[in-house]
């Protein structure tokens, strides 16, 4: 592949992720509306929100680290998009591998922790402490699941993992080969999205949206953009690990949206766990399922 082609792919992949991510945010809000018997927001609502937030006259910065934190939160995901193969574009997925991808997916939380720390708002500090605790909770089952899949495929290269799954149709998909790992992965993915019942660090009624409490204008807009990337990254990672990636854009997007619709439909039916309950739940059930799943694989 020539350098120009690679450059075009590296530009296109985050852009596609952003557009698809906005549609995923829309789907999330529409699902919430349907479950509550409402009409829901119009089609371009996520775009309106982002444009409006970036066009506010007042942009309150709390210092350099605050600015850098938001850039890190977005940049971590933008870098992660280039490692996620989509139909027709592989980016640098071959060189990166799945372990780099997992590392990159942790950067946004750390960036947020830096940025929120400088805001000096107690609600923000509590929120970010809870966010990092939640990360500790869901990363252990996630790493177990990813290890199991990589062990079964014999490689950490995401392109090869997708290729082995696509070789024999539905029967060689991760979800039929390793159903226990797939269930554990779904729970870990739900927790990593930070939606109810795992919504401990947003908690609007309790700590006033936690990390977002001091964010206004383009800072909040940056976090809205980050949310688009977060939904896309999580859904596409799950599709690549268990649902055989995508051969065409149609079935790729269909799978991603369907996978994301599962936690979204569950989320708006439940209230919130406490932090220690989340930790206990995440370290018990998905970890147990994941370990049994690994035993089957080995």
Partner 1 sequence: MSSIKQIPVVEAKRTNPLARVFDDLVRFCRSRSLFILHYCTGCGAIELPPAMTSRFDMERLGIQPMVSPRQADILLITGYVSIKTLKRVILTYEQMGSPKYVIGICSCTVNGGMYWQSYATAKKLDEYMPVDLYIAGCMPRPEAVIEGLQQLMDRIHAGEANSWEDYYRNYDYYLGNQQKLFGEDWQTPTDVISEAKHYDLLSNGTLGDHTRLLEQHQKPLEALEMRLGHEQKEPAK
- Using CB under 8 A as the criterion, which residues of the chain lie in contact with partner 1 when the complex forms? 29, 33, 36-42, 45, 47-49, 51-53, 55-60, 204-205, 208-209, 212-217, 220
Neighbours of 216 (CB within 10 A): 15
- In the bound state with partner 1, the residue whose beta carbon lies nearer, of 142 and 231, is 231
- In the bound state with partner 1, the residue whose beta carbon lies nearer, of 2 and 57, is 57
- In the bound state with partner 1, the residue whose beta carbon lies nearer, of 1 and 205, is 205
Burial class (CB in 10 A: 0-12, 13-18, 19+), 68: middle
Instruction: Report in angstroms how near the CB of residue 214 gets to partner 1 at its nearest.
Output: 6
- In the bound state with partner 1, the residue whose beta carbon lies nearer, of 178 and 220, is 220
Cis upstream peptide for 273 (omega within 30°): no
> What whole-number distance in Å separates Cα of residue 236 and Cα of residue 83?
11
Instruction: Report in angstroms how near the CB of residue 283 gets to partner 1 at its nearest.
Output: 30
Instruction: Report in angstroms how near the CB of residue 216 gets to partner 1 at its nearest.
Output: 4
Q: What are phi and psi of 252, to 5 degrees?
A: -65, -50
- In the bound state with partner 1, the residue whose beta carbon lies nearer, of 1 and 39, is 39
Instruction: Report in angstroms how near the CB of residue 102 gets to partner 1 at its nearest.
Output: 31
Instruction: Please list the residues that pair with 196 across neighbouring strands.
Output: none
**Closest Cα to residue 119, out of 226, 53, 213?**
213
Contacts of 231 (CB under 8 A, 6+ apart): 21, 24, 25, 28, 193, 260
Instruction: Report in angstroms how near the CB of residue 223 gets to partner 1 at its nearest.
Output: 10
């Amino acid at each position: 592949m020539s350098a120009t082609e690679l450059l075009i792919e590296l530009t296109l992949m985050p852009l596609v992720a952003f557009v698809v991510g906005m549609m995923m945010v829309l789907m999330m809000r529409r699902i919430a509306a349907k479950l509550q018997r409402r009409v829901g927001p119009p089609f371009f609502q996520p775009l309106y929100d982002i444009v409006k937030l970036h066009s506010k006259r007042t942009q309150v910065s709390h210092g350099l680290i605050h600015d850098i934190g938001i850039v890190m939160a977005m940049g971590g995901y933008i870098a992660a998009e280039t490692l996620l193969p989509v139909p027709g574009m592989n980016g640098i997925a071959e060189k990166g591998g799945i372990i780099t991808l997992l590392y990159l997916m942790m950067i946004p939380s750390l960036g947020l922790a830096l940025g929120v720390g400088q805001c000096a708002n107690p609600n923000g500090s509590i929120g970010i402490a809870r966010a990092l605790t939640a990360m500790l909770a869901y990363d252990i089952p996630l790493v177990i699941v990813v290890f199991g899949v990589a062990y079964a495929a014999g490689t950490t290269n995401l392109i090869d993992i997708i290729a082995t799954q696509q070789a024999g149709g539905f029967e060689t998909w991760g979800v039929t080969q390793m159903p226990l790992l797939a269930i554990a992965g779904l729970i870990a993915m739900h927790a990593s999205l930070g939606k109810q019942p795992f919504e401990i660090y947003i908690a609007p009624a309790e700590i006033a949206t936690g990390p977002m409490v001091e964010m206004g204008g383009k800072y909040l807009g940056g976090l809205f953009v980050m949310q688009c990337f977060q939904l896309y990254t999580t859904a596409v990672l799950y599709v690549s690990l268990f649902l055989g990636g995508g051969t065409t854009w149609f079935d790729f997007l269909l799978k991603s949206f369907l996978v994301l619709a599962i936690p979204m439909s569950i989320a708006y039916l439940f209230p919130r766990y406490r932090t220690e309950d989340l930790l206990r739940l995440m370290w018990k059930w998905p970890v147990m399922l994941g370990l049994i799943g690994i035993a089957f694989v080995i």
